[in-house]
Every structure is written in C-alpha cells, then in structure tokens.
Amino acid sequence: MNKEAMRILFMLISVAVIFTFCRKKELKFTINGVVSDATFTVTSPGVKVKLFVTPLGESEDQVGTATTSSDGVFEFVIDRERIEKVRLTYDKINYFEEEQIIYFSNLEVNEDNDASQSLTAKSWVRFQIFNQSPASASDEFKLFKYRGKEDCAECCPIGNSYYYGAVDTAVICPNGANSYTSYYYWVTNTQIYGQDSVFTTPFDTVTVNFVY
C-alpha cells in the first residue's frame, strides 16, 4: 500500500472514529433541575426524585432515583432511545407529592432538559363531628367543602359529605400550608347551620368541632 492510500485510509478511519464519538455523545439525555419550597420560598434539599421511562409500545419502567442536594439540585442522564415520555415524581415528607411529564418530542439532546419543580408544605383540618343526642338513624349532618386543596389522593373533595345517626367521627382533610379551607354545615331540620373558614399553617392541624 503506497503512502497516498495509507493517508486516505487514515483519514477514513479518523472520520469514522470522530463520527462514532459524536454519535455516542448524542445518545444521552440529561434531565436536571432545582426543587424549590413554595411555602418558605427557599430551595428544597432531601427531596426524593424518581424517573420513569415509557418506551414505545411498552409499559412504564423506573430507571432512576435521586435525592436533591443542599441547594435543591438533581440530575439524571439516560440513553437516547425512542420513547413515548419520561415522568418524574417529587416526594418529601410533610409535602405534597408532585409529578412532571416530558414527552419525547420535547426532549433535547444538545442541552439540559429542565425539570425544576416546587413543593408545597402540608397542613391539615380535622373536622370532629359528634351527635351528642341522636333522635334517630335518619339524623343528617351535611358538610360542604367549597374551598381548599383537592388535587391529591388523600385530599377531601370539593362538595357535600353526609353523616347520619349517632355520629362520632373525625374527618381529616389535608390542605396547602398558609391557605384557607372554607365550608358550610347543616343539621337537617334544625336551626344549626353556618359558614366558616380556617387558615392552616405549615405542618399543623386545626380542629373544627361540630357538636349537635
């Protein structure tokens, strides 16, 4: 093989190596961000962030877990594959869990994919309901919640709740910290009724007593 042929072969090999190196660099997605505390307006360390991937035509699979650093930062690096979407969940004790979905069409290869999120501290309202002198099993107490957090699995829904007969129970409704839960209440066929709101502070429980 003459020198010219060797030079051409060397160039071809070099191009192939460079192309392979570039292709390898492109085969990664970087997903990162900062988790902030919406209640106290600070960054949030110690948040558990889970990453789930849904490949095309397949079921979702968890591929990573990270814990935010002292300044709330997390990062994942995953292979670039044809997927439908990635889903991230953000969880911290005494905070409402959040999630974020990023579809494949919105994922960037040559730059970071920002998945920053904010979490809200929990508080609670405890409705203590006690029928101290029940007349019959048809005694009806109605509680209508019309304001307060409702978009979580354990949240009390907006709307009516009914309690009958010799009631002695507690209903606990999570709420976003530093916000209000508002409600109406009635004891059917009596003059016992009203409307009120309670303000809930971070990590605390406000008790509301209904005795009739």
pLDDT digits (tens, 9 = 90+) for 110-151: 899 999 999 999 999 999 999 999 999 999 999 999 999 999
- End residue of a domain, out of 119, 144, 170: 119
Residues 106 and 140 in one domain: no
Statement to judge: residues 28 and 112 lie in one domain: yes
Going through the chain in order, the beta strands assigned E by DSSP cover: 28-37, 42-43, 48-55, 61-67, 73-79, 83-91, 98-103, 113-114, 117-119, 122-130, 140-147, 159-164, 168-176, 179-187, 193-200, 205-211
Has this prediction a pTM greater than 0.85? Answer: no
- Domain termination site, one of 101, 119, 137: 119
Question: Could you tell me which residues come within 8 angstroms of residue 191 by beta carbon, excluding any fewer than 6 positions away?
Answer: none
- Is-contact 148 181, C-beta < 8 A? yes
Provide the pLDDT confidence category of residue 4 given band limits of 50, 70 and 90.
low
Residues 127 and 205 in one domain: yes
Average pLDDT over residues 153-166: 96
- Span 69-119, pLDDT tens digits: 999 999 999 999 889 999 999 999 999 999 999 999 999 998 999 999 999
Q: Tell me the pairing of strands 73-79 and 117-119.
A: unpaired
